[in-house]
Amino acid sequence: MPPADSVLTAVYDLQVCPCSYDFFQFLIGAELHRKRYSYHSINLVFLPGPKNGFREDQLRSNDQNDLFFKNVIIPGLSVLPSISSFHSYSSRKEFRFKSKPKLSSVYPRGYKVEKPIADYVFHGVVASQLREEEMVFFEAPDYCKKIAHEYLNKIAGNKKVVVLTTRELSREDSGSRSILKEVWKDFFAQLDPDFYQPLIIRDTSTAFSTDRLFNGVPELSAASIHLPLRLAIYQLSHLNFFKNNGPAVFGYYSKANAIIFNEFDSRHHALSEEYYKMHYGMKRGCQLPLTPQNSLILWGKENVAVLNQVLAVNWSEKSNQSNGYKDKENLILSMITGFNYLVENLKQGVLTEDAKTVLFAQKLIETHDFEWDIPQLIKDLEAKGWPKGTWAQIVKLQNTFK
């Protein structure tokens, strides 16, 4: 067992966090934090919410939440190797820190049971990209890779496997995240059967449907309900296709070759352009922060010509290169998101990442001639109630690593 002071405590509080694939976005933020402060491993803590242990929302029924937590989230912990332990508490009163923890030793920063913080949206990842931190990735466990390899060899042999992941829920969807079935039917029909083997991983809710989506195209039901196997299939396949859905997080952050079709939908807040600008620092045409170039968002609806075009690319050569910023507007939007995240974190105190965020932001301001006065902005925050001496602490930290 690693010493207690070398373990990061990451709290996923189901009072304020959803029981959904957003949890894995939370893990990306936690892993970045762990590496940033050189913690050996992560102790993951789940605290219950008010609705049968979950957050008060309309996303899923109680049974659906329970099924997702036990059959997706808990098995899914094995795809982040740095998680050394986890605890799921039945009562919020059961969990207490033994003593006041160091600010860096708990994620989200400044978390308190009585004042929970939900840090599962990518604000922190946007800030990490501003600081030019290294990308982090999920990894399927070896036993799942072995099973996946045996299965793929059985159905495909030496052929290149092309995986389509589907979303088949009507919840919060007007069709923008569902596949265009006729397009995929035509695409699969014209694939050279001597070189390519298509494979479908269906929505968890339809994993065992007796009605196949496409005649002659195999479906792997086990991968729909077993997340580590799903990831192993993605990592061993030639190319993975997604629409904007929960499992796509494993296309973005696993080094698997992945194409994600996305488009804004103003009818749903979380799919709107305004939401992407605010939370991801993105506009149309941009890529998610800290993603490799073999994981790409294609904006707009899928069509056969585009599918054939991306199929011919050698995506594996791009797995170590970051997508970066599309243009100046993407950079400005990211700076706004990252700075707002900084402002929230400074309420709890100053850490090295804050000083580096300011330092990198100042360099970008000078390079691109932005009209931002960060020292004055932070001094203004102090006047509004943020801890006194915040700017002085930032300067002191900056002097240690300039």
Asked which of 55-59, 290-294, 348-352 is least confident by mean pLDDT, the reply is 55-59
Which helix (H) or strand (E) is 274 found in, with range? helix 273-280
pTM for the model stands at 0.94
Q: What is the pLDDT of residues 104-131, one digit of tens each?
A: 999 999 999 999 999 999 999 999 999 9
**1 has a pLDDT exceeding 60:** no
Percent of the chain with pLDDT over 70: 97
Amino acid, res. 140: A
- Residue carrying the six token digits 């002659």: 216
Which helix (H) or strand (E) is 299 found in, with range? strand 295-299
Give 186-195's long-range contacts (Cβ < 8 A, gap of 24+): 186/304, 187/304, 187/307, 187/308, 188/214, 188/216, 188/217, 190/304, 190/308, 191/162, 194/159, 195/159, 195/160
DSSP for 127-189 reads: HHHHTTPPP------HHHHHHHHHHHHHHHTTSEEEEEE-----TT-SSTTS--HHHHHHHHH
Q: What is the pLDDT of residues 207-260, one digit of tens each?
A: 788 889 999 999 999 999 899 999 999 999 999 999 999 999 999 999 999 999
Show the domains of the chain with their CATH numbers.
Answer: 4-120 (no CATH), 142-318 (3.40.50.2000), 349-401 (no CATH)
Three-state SS letters, 4-20:
HHHEEEEEEECCCCCCC
Question: Burial level of 394, CB count in 10 A (0-12/13-18/19+)?
Answer: buried
- Residue 252: both structure tokens together: 């973005």
With cut-offs at 50, 70 and 90, classify the pLDDT of residue 170. low
Cα–Cα distance measured from residue 129 to residue 239, given in angstroms and rounded to the nearest whole number: 25
Question: Are 228 and 78 a contacting pair, CB within 8 Å?
Answer: yes
